[in-house]
Amino acid sequence: MSYISDVSMVTVQGGYIAKQCPVVIQNRVLVPTEEAESPPEAIHRMDAGIEFEAVTLESLRGEGPDDWVVIPQQPRSTAIEATVDAMGRGAAVIENAFLPIDEEGRRTGRPDLLIRSDAGYIPVDIKHHRTIDEEEGSVLVSDPTDPFYETAYPMEGWDLRKHQGDALQLAHYHRMLEAGGHDSGRPVGGILGKEGLIVWYDLDAPMWTTPAKSDGKKRKIRTSLERYDFEFGFRLDIAATAHSRLEDDDVDLLVEPRASGECDECGFHDFCWSTLELGSGDSSLLPGLTYQHWRHLRDLGITERSQIADLHYPTASLMKSGVEVDVFLELAEGEDPSVSLESLRSRAKKQLLLLDEAGVLTVGDLLKVTDLATVAVGGFTAQRILDARAALGPHPVYRRPGLDEVTVPRADIEIDIDMENVNEGVYLWGALINNRTKPETGPEYIPFVSWEPIDDEVELEVFLAMWDWLTTQRDQAKDNGLTMKAYVWHEPAENYHLRRISGAANRRLEEQVENLIDSEHWIDLKRVFGNSWITGGSVGLKSIAPLAGFEWDVDDPGGGLSMVKYDEAVAEDSKGTDAAREWILDYNRGDVEATSAIRGWLDEEGSDWPEVDAR
Ligand code: SF4
């Protein structure tokens, strides 16, 4: 691997760094303060992973091949020695291995299992998540009691649930085995996940789509090893450059903080966000701005939201709709303003039609409505310009351009729905029903829940209870001559589980579910919001509901904590069981009350909010 810097001073790194935000390793060199502790939900996830690994290994020991060696917890050098010794004598399986440090590659690593394969070893890691999906295709698997790659078999009707983090970690171990001369010659690695099977990754198979280096628009499919080599090497370069910066202030760092979903659980959140929120705020604070676009803007000197707000919306909008404004401008150069655009490019019929709709017919019109600075940036900015203006404007919410009046779908019987799930399935469907023809009765919260260990049967039982109730409400409303609508916030989450559970049950139920989702009775309120209003920030329920004046009864209503509470709620001998169950129901009730509050707020005030500036 070639590096742009001398990486020899970089501390040896585990494989995890390859899948983390690249700014993390830079901060570890430069930021004098300690990384903050992970939030409880992240710690809970890690603990659950460690426990799953321990339980899995415990159950396998004694079931697998005879020559199964366990490397005990001990100082690093002794553990490495024991691993090398076990590999040297050809042990069949080595549990809790500690690979020799790869000094040149600056790597360290501890695969959960090393499995003997021909002349060497292949790594297997245990992960507390699903690894395969039921769909057309086939996936190569091994039974963990016979974990050898040589006896792996294809499992039809299932496909690999491609998990890039897993693949990069296996690639890290593979490179370490290669560096020490202990690899098997096969670039493969396995993940033992929740299905209890070892699922094999071919690390040399093209699998991951990434932008080609020279052009953000072109895509290339890369192998796991290619992807890993790039990501890991890049991070070593970042760290080496950061070390150089400590010696010399003139050294340019390779990366800068950029807002992403990873920041919420990152130990450098406060440090990075104090930079991101400077001035009018970093452009990455705008929703939906991809890394490629963020980088492109930066290369043009556009770093803050105010600079995006200053761009010209009509130009960006024309470009976004498919008009090659730059090409028309080139053809128009030196032409008389009265010359028609059609005469310059008669074959571009669709684009001419779009220009015509915008009232742009001549060279003069084109020059009047287009802004060269915006043309240079690109049409992808259209939505971002409105977002930036909304985010920096004095009002928390704006109407989208061109919408004089906005309507919110209402009904006599309104039902707000929200589900809670864990990896094993959905354990709670919460519903808030409000009969608006009887205002004196007020809304009622009805949870359909099970605290039994969740499996397919329990999940279906909970689902059917909710489904029977919901369809009864719909049918009764119809019989009584009333309208009925059910509302969710961000339907892909609910729809996915509705379809999955009903599809696994029977065809008739699946069709009934599909009919409801396609009907006027099923409304995604987030989509209603997004089609008519704009805030320039997150449109998550937890961000929008407070704008409507809504507050949750529970502290910290972020979704992550509900996973922690769920484990307490179903624990057999926990003192906190009742409190955790109450917390979950309060939390779920809060979510359905939030969608209800947003709907009322949009209906009452939504038409009065100002229109976002679209000039
Ligand atoms: S806070 Fe965000 S940008 Fe900063 S290191 Fe963490 S993930 Fe990266």
Q: Which two tokens stand for residue 74?
A: 């001990």
Per-residue pLDDT for 125 more than 70? Answer: yes
Distance in angstroms (rounded) separating the CA atoms of residues 370 and 311: 11
Confidence of residue 604 (pLDDT cuts 50, 70, 90): very high
Which segments of the chain belong to CATH 3.30.420? 413-608
Pocket test for ligand 1, best of 30, 262, 265 (most atoms within 8 A of CB): 262
Rounded to the nearest angstrom, the distance between the alpha carbon of 536 and the centre of ligand 1 is 21
pLDDT of residue 218: 75
Count of CA atoms in the C-beta half-sphere (13 A) of 178: 15
Question: What's 157's DSSP letter?
Answer: E
Q: What is the dihedral of CA 41, 43, 46, 47, to 10 degrees?
A: -110
- Show the ligand 1 pocket: residues with CB < 6 angstroms: 21, 23-24, 27, 257-258, 260, 262-263, 266, 268-269, 272
Nearest CA to ligand 1 atom 4: 272
Nearest CA to ligand 1 atom 7: 263
Helices 269-276 & 23-30 angle (0-180, nearest 10): 100
Atom of ligand 1 lying closest to residue 260 CA = 2
Share of the chain above pLDDT 90, in %: 86
Atom of ligand 1 lying closest to residue 258 CA = 3
Tens of pLDDT, residues 42-61 = 888 899 899 999 999 999 98
Nearest CA to ligand 1 atom 2: 263
Rounded to the nearest angstrom, the distance between the alpha carbon of 27 and the centre of ligand 1 is 9
Distance between first and last Cα of the chain: 50
Pairing outcome for strands 206-212 and 425-435: unpaired
413-608: CATH class: alpha beta
Contact yes or no for 531/400 (Cβ under 8 A): yes
Among positive and negative, which fits the CA dihedral 547, 552, 555, 561? Answer: negative
Distance in angstroms (rounded) separating the CA atoms of residues 146 and 160: 20
Residue tagged 């990896």 (tokens):
423
Closest by CA position to 314, among listed 363, 373, 352, 371: 371
Distance in angstroms (rounded) separating the CA atoms of residues 74 and 70: 12
Rounded to the nearest angstrom, the distance between the alpha carbon of 491 and the centre of ligand 1 is 29
Distance in angstroms (rounded) separating the CA atoms of residues 116 and 59: 20
pLDDT of residue 564: 83
Rounded to the nearest angstrom, the distance between the alpha carbon of 270 and the centre of ligand 1 is 9
Rounded to the nearest angstrom, the distance between the alpha carbon of 268 and the centre of ligand 1 is 6
CA angle centred on 93, ends 92 and 99, rounded to 5°: 115
Tens of pLDDT, residues 343-394 = 999 999 999 999 999 999 999 999 999 999 999 999 999 999 999 999 999 9
Distance in angstroms (rounded) separating the CA atoms of residues 399 and 529: 10
Tens of pLDDT, residues 207-251 = 999 877 544 567 899 999 999 999 999 999 999 999 999 999 999
